[in-house]
Amino acid sequence: MMKYNFPKDFWWGSAVSGPQTEGVFPGDNKGDSTWDYWYKQKPELFFDQVGPEKTSYTYLRFKEDVQLLKETGHNSFRTSIQWSRLIPTGDGEVNQDAVRFYNEYIDELIANDIEPFINLYHFDMPMSLMEKGGWESRATVEAYVRYAKICFELFGDRVKKWFTNNEPIVPVEGGYLYQFHYPAIVDLRKAIQVGYHENLASAMAISAYRQLNLDGEIGIILNLTPSYPRDVNNPEDVKASIICDAFFNRSFLDPAIKGTFPQELIDIVKELGMLPEYEANDLDIIKENTVELLGVNYYHPRRVKAKETPKNPLIPMPDDYFDMYDMPNKKMNPYRGWEIYERGVYDLLINLRDNYGNIPCFISENGMGVENEARFIKEDGSIEDDYRIDFVAGHLRYVHDALQEGSNVKGYHMWTAIDNWSWTNAYKNRYGFVSVDIDNEGKRTIKKSGHWFKTVADNNGFDN
């Protein structure tokens, strides 16, 4: 039997976001985000027509939720401030009800020896700014930097771990390429501009943070999906995987850590005549304001092969440069349609060690969504989610291997603590250590995986 031991100061915890957990309540003075608006316009797009007002009610139940974090072994926890809650119009007055809530939430975490990791943007553009272009507009970049500075000034005396953005590639993919986030259009030129503005906004927020001389760290959370070629001995497959990686990983990873964009991506964008609009000193801002800490969200790999299918000459897309490869006999999570490949987390961490200066990092999301989890409820009300324990343990073994080989990985945060609302999927798939019964006033129950995770955290490791 092998023992997997982790450092005594390892970060054990989980991640959530404000828009997926807080809920919307009369008198909270929250403004609409794009999700609030989209649900009002097209509720049929959302699973069981459950919208963002029915998330897990953390706005009212944060003290109970913090106790559940403690009972499941957390010494750290990531959530986000909702831009549309703190500044309802995105660029106007600050909502004092939101200030009170976030102050009390942060203080409650600290009082229970759980370090708050606070993210500033998690797909929740204020609708009033979206109506003016959202991330397509330079004005949104300026509004975001103002919002970030307000957050630093309000909460930076206690919050020591800040993150500018969570998975910034997702608004690009979902909103402007593959139509699973608002505004759900297909426009590569706009997608490139959105991605550029998100990179610039992150760098400008980092600059603003450092100018305040606060004694914390600031980073970014990226969903890194390793791009594996179908055949490592086929140069065309390898080239396709490199280009795929440049589009979906390095488009944010390289600017965040190296301060530059990947040359493969620059060459393609130039060839297409789709360089984003930018100002003279933007690239210097990005170069001079790189991150100190990287969060790595890892769920599944991407399998890639050389382009074999025809491309649409009228609608340029990243997919013009590669095809997805359906590898036979892969292990799958059938509920999400995602491959389970535990070694991928090791490969990501070793890549960061070897090619990105071994930047301090942590696994900021990793999780297994399961549909209809209620079928695993026992007569005593407990939930036997052994599949989640197996999933987490399998990934932690590879995190441990990377640690043993010199990776600068500082912690592991699971997605998620308490079952939450997940965009158009709503509550279709459950991810939490703790279940939420949305039909029974949000009743919480710790699952078997939550009790297991506490023993792992308490012992800084586990037996194989």
Q: Has 379 been annotated as catalytic?
A: no
- Is 342 in contact with 395 (CB distance < 8 Å)? yes
Question: For the residues of 380-424, what is the DSSP string, one character each?
Answer: TS-B--HHHHHHHHHHHHHHHHHHHTT--EEEEEES-SB----GG
Q: How far is Cα 422 from Cα 105, in angstroms, rounded to an integer?
A: 21
Cis, peptide link before residue 416, omega less than 30° from 0: yes
- Is 43 in contact with 441 (CB distance < 8 Å)? no
Q: How far is Cα 36 from Cα 424, in angstroms, rounded to an integer?
A: 11
Selected catalytic residue, list 136, 167, 365, 373: 365
State the DSSP H helix or E strand holding residue 463, giving kind and residue range, or none if neither.
Answer: strand 461-463
Q: Which two tokens stand for residue 237?
A: 């497959």
Q: How far is Cα 389 from Cα 377, in angstroms, rounded to an integer?
A: 16
Residue 232, Cβ density class (10 Å: 0-12 exposed, 13-18 middle, ≥19 buried): exposed
- Is 248 in contact with 225 (CB distance < 8 Å)? yes
Q: Is the dihedral of CA 20, 26, 30, 32 positive or negative?
A: positive
Catalytic residue numbers? 365
